[in-house]
């Protein structure tokens, strides 16, 4: 990560992969809460500090309507509560993007370029956790972290339930 470190609670393998799919595509918010609790409890140690706030990677309006919720919002709220910090919800997706799952690294980067905007105030040196469900190439995380850095955040660590190895 250009703006900080990436931390994952788990590798993106079974049964974590199946649980994330139930939460993301199957409407099982309970499993997302459980995964967020487990991930948060695994994120401790000398290299992981409590952030000033947590930010979820936003979904586009079309995908949010289809699912009825954003899985990253669910994860972020649980992780923020566990650390007793606020969730900042002024990050938005400015345009719908194609799903990243079937794309290579370069295509992923161009797919999410300029797809996010910050409408909140100055983040003035804040240390943030950017929360998402899965980290693959880091293209989405980098696109969002760049926006948060331009808004003044000093350090953005990416925190995900699972990372693809």
**What are the structural domain ranges in the chain?**
6-94+105-163
Are 132 and 57 contacting, i.e. CB atoms less than 8 angstroms apart? yes
CATH pick for 6-94+105-163 out of 3.30.470.20, 3.40.50.2020, 3.30.420.40, 3.20.190.10: 3.40.50.2020
Task: Give the C-alpha distances (Å, rounded to integers) separating 152 from 3, 27, 121, 130.
Answer: 12, 35, 9, 14
What is the token pair recorded at 26? 């199957």
What is the token pair recorded at 106? 């370069």
pLDDT for 61 equals 85
pLDDT for 114 equals 79
Say how far apart CA 40 and CA 59 lie, in whole Å: 22
CA angle, 29 as apex, 19 and 31 as ends, to 5°? 35
pLDDT for 144 equals 93
pLDDT for 159 equals 97
pLDDT for 63 equals 85
Alpha carbon 152 to chain centroid, angstroms: 18
Q: pTM of the predicted model, to two decimals?
A: 0.90
pLDDT in single tens digits along all 165 residues of the chain: 567 899 999 999 999 999 999 999 999 999 999 999 999 999 987 778 899 999 999 998 888 888 999 999 999 999 999 999 999 999 999 887 656 555 555 565 656 667 899 999 999 999 999 999 999 988 899 999 999 999 999 999 999 999 998
């Amino acid at each position: 990560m250009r703006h900080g470190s990436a931390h994952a609670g788990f590798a993106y393998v079974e049964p974590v992969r199946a649980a994330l799919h139930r939460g993301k595509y199957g409407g099982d918010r309970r499993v997302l809460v459980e995964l967020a609790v487990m991930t948060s409890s695994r994120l401790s140690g000398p290299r992981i500090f409590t952030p000033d706030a947590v930010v979820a990677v936003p979904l586009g309006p079309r995908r949010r309507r289809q699912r009825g919720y954003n899985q990253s919002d669910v994860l972020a709220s649980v992780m923020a509560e566990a650390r007793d910090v606020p969730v900042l919800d002024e990050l938005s997706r400015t345009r719908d993007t194609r799903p990243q799952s079937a794309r290579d690294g370069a295509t992923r980067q161009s797919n999410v370029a300029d797809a996010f905007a910050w409408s909140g105030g100055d983040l003035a040196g804040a240390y943030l956790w950017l929360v998402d469900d899965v980290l693959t190439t880091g293209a989405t995380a980098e696109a969002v972290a760049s926006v948060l850095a331009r808004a003044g955040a000093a350090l953005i660590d990416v925190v995900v339930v699972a990372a693809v190895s």
